[in-house]
Amino acid sequence: MTFAKVTHVIFDLDGLMLDTERIYQQVLHFIAAKHDAKYTLETKLKIQGTTEIYTAETVIADMNLPYTPEEFLEVYWQLATEPVKHAKLMPGVTKLVRHLHEHKIPICIATSCGRAAHEVKTQDYRKLMSLFSHVVCGPEVKHGKPAPDIFLMAAAKFDDAPQPKDCLVFEDAPNGARGAVAAGMQVVLVPDPDVPEKWRKPATLVLNSLEEFQPEAFGLPRYDD
């Protein structure tokens, strides 16, 4: 199967490049249990890939928690900060990023997290992160995913400012995939196994892992091995 040729690539971070989503889910289940509440798949699908403040507001409302958004985020990050500092890379990430960089395909990151959080999470991978031309973080745009803002800004910051149709986005969250499609871009979705089929539909292509990705399907240089 082949798709329209692209020239630039935009990567999400959490859950797509870094195995942080698993940590976030554990923290949310812990907070829920502490208050005799349940963290459900429905809530997960609402918040995955979105901004911190939207996540806080949604979780508080869905689980009827006794926090303000600011209080919730303080509790949340007290539990999550240390584990995410040493989150592992997801399978296939290093190979794909290095391959694209070696073939001079412009690449960047568009992540819903803040700049400080991004620095904390990527501190073990400075060399790999240096291969990206730039990073756009959630607080830098007015509307977070699933709005297209962050992807449009990411594309505009490439030196040659490609058209959206020339960009391919890699995402793990359906909210991110919706945002990429709204931006006029193709998107490869690598979702968690529990994401229902209907939430996967906006994606151009759905994979179980980045290891399955074949660059030539989007007109990119094929792997050498």
Tell me the percentage of the chain whose pLDDT exceeds 90.
98
Give the pLDDT of residue 127. Answer: 97
Which pLDDT score, from 0 to 100, does residue 177 have?
Answer: 98
Cα–Cα separations (whole angstroms), residue 220 to 19, 159, 188, 202: 26, 19, 14, 22
List, in sequence order, every residue forming a beta bridge with 135; answer none if it has no partner. Answer: 109
Q: Which residues are catalytic?
A: 12, 14
70-96 tens-digit pLDDT: 999 999 999 999 999 999 999 999 999
pLDDT attached to residue 22: 93
Residue 171's pLDDT band (cuts 50, 70, 90): very high
Q: Who wins on pLDDT, 153 or 114?
A: 153
* Nearest-angstrom CA–CA distance, 127 and 129: 5
Domains and CATH numbers, the chain: 8-18+87-218 (3.40.50.1000), 20-85 (1.10.150.240)
Give me the mean pLDDT over the 177-187 stretch. Answer: 98
Three-state DSSP class for 12?
coil
Examine the pLDDT at 35 and tell me if it is beyond 90.
yes
Q: What is the radius of gyration, based on Cα positions, of the chain?
A: 17
Element (H, E) at 138: none
Predicted local confidence at residue 1, as pLDDT: 81
pLDDT of 40 strictly over 80: yes
Identity of residue 69 = P
SS3 193: coil
Q: Please report the pLDDT score of residue 24 as a whole number.
A: 95
110, β-bridge pairs: 136
